[in-house]
Amino acid sequence: MTYSRAGTYVMDLLDNYGVGTAVFFYGICQIIGIFWIYGLQRFCFDLKFMLNQSVGLFWKVTWAFATPVALIVIFIYGNIEIGKAGSQKPGIPAWGTGIGWALAAIAMIQIPLWIGITIYRQKGDMKQRVINAFKPSPDWGPINPKIFQEWVTYRNENFRSVSIMGYINSAFTSDNDKTDNQTTVPT
């Protein structure tokens, strides 16, 4: 398709809609997922464990606030400009622009679709399904068993935490909780 006479137009559609729009959307979702769902504090704790060095305030502010805002602004502005350019650019008919937006929609729908599927597969009522879908699994951490055990020990000794059951008050223990070997997750 890109070797035909319309190849440059096809490349424009793929570049502007299929790749450009989707990449910014994926970046926004990744930033939100890491720093707002997994948690900035957890992420910084993991970095401290791996690098043996704390993360500075500059990086925390950049990751949690400046980057998401910048990506969202660029995403919105870029899509407005693509819309303007698509209607003014000679050689690309309206149906071609429609195909471009369809490519972008197919690429971007993947994240909400799989979030919905993951929530649907959880057990419990809707609130519990959402909570469970966004909670790290008990075996989350380094894949190497030795490093995983060091990580769990380090985490339990050095980090204010909540249980995987999701209790906010660390002093609270349920009768159903494990007491000796309970895994905890940083908040």
Give the tens place of pLDDT for each residue, 50-73. Answer: 999 999 999 999 999 999 999 999
The answer to whether the CB of 141 falls within 8 A of the CB of 152 is: yes
The answer to whether the CB of 118 falls within 8 A of the CB of 108 is: no
Give the tens place of pLDDT for each residue, 104-159. Answer: 899 899 999 999 999 999 999 999 999 999 888 888 889 999 999 999 898 888 87
The pLDDT assigned to 1 comes to 56
Which residues have CB under 8 Å from 44's CB, separation 6+? 54, 55, 60
Of 20-24, 38-42, 47-51, 110-114, the range with the lowest mean pLDDT is: 20-24
Percent of the chain clearing pLDDT 70 (strictly above): 78
Give dist(CA 178, CA 61) in Å, integer.
Answer: 36
The answer to whether the CB of 85 falls within 8 A of the CB of 96 is: no
The pLDDT assigned to 148 comes to 92
Structure tokens at 86: 């698509």
Structure tokens at 105: 């929609």
The pLDDT assigned to 16 comes to 74
Give dist(CA 108, CA 130) in Å, integer.
Answer: 21
Percent of the chain clearing pLDDT 90 (strictly above): 44
Chain-wide mean pLDDT for the chain? 81
Instruction: Tell me the whole-structure pTM to 2 decimals.
Output: 0.71
Q: Helices marked H in 35-173 — which ranges?
A: 40-51, 57-61, 67-88, 94-108, 110-121, 126-133, 145-158
The answer to whether the CB of 38 falls within 8 A of the CB of 136 is: yes
Give dist(CA 66, CA 124) in Å, integer.
Answer: 36
The pLDDT assigned to 61 comes to 95
> 19 or 117: whose pLDDT is higher?
117
- Max CA pair span of the chain: 71
